[in-house]
Structure 1
Amino acid sequence: MTTPTQPIRRTEPPLATRLRITLLRTSRRLRNESAGTLPEGHLSVLSALFTHGALSPGELAEREHVRPPSMTRTLQHLEGEGYLERATHPTDGRQVVISLSPAGEEYIRETRRRRDQWLQRRLASLTRDQRAILAQAESILREVID
């Protein structure tokens, strides 16, 4: 004869754990709202170029915290897709700089638009007070993360 199991009583996880889980779930959900099928690491490179302008492959590798050979493969893929352009470095003719092509710019703009639109729809279901609390929390999270 089996005895019914008692539900496991769990204590509330610490705030850091709850925030980590919520931020990861949010990030995962936003990644689903993309203009295409590029891996998130590739999208991050396009986003860095969109934000900072032309960069050398070494600068991109450092900024993205990847090894140069990994960045080389990423850049080759993105260039093959038509999202990047290469040019000679303006002060060092031995180097190249990478910038977004018009197609790369459009990919980033569309992905950001889709992600913002998804989040705006979700936020619209909240009360004014809830949105005000989230605005305060966003500011605090930015301080914690930066």
Structure 2
Amino acid sequence: DGADYEGTYGATTSDDSLTLQFVRAITATNIGSRMYLMSSEDKYEMFQLLGNEFTFDVDVSNVGCGLNAALYFVAMDEDGGMSKNSTNKAGAKYGTGYCDSQCPRDLKFIDGLANSENWTASSNDANAGVGSRGSCCSEMEDWRS
């Protein structure tokens, strides 16, 4: 999709590991990232947790003071909302459809529409801001530092 995940978000993979740099200031400043597991090129991985075990390891030795790292499940649509919203042409392939229980307003697209009404750019992150709309769904938090 042309995104520079390592350069912009500090996200790298190796074997079965994912490494994230929360604050990235190589060519531009970026603060924070969300990563999603994919089952295919255009579908998010869906987990059936009832009666199953989910295990993970986290190395928090490099999480800076005052930063938040977390692992949680949210009730996103498997296709990123494409089947529900005819205006959503991007879907999971391009990372759309995110929601959580805090109803985040920092998403650039919600339900296939630009979240541009009253968009206020972040003063310290060129990739961030908040708009009028939020994207709400249930969430189950598993771990937070």
Shared fold, TM over 0.5: no
> TM-score w.r.t. structure 1 length?
0.23
> TM-score w.r.t. structure 2 length?
0.23
Higher relative contact order, chain-length normalized (CA < 8 Å, sep 6+): 1
Structure (1 or 2) with the greater helix fraction: 1
Structure (1 or 2) with the greater strand fraction: 2
The structure that has the greater radius of gyration is 1
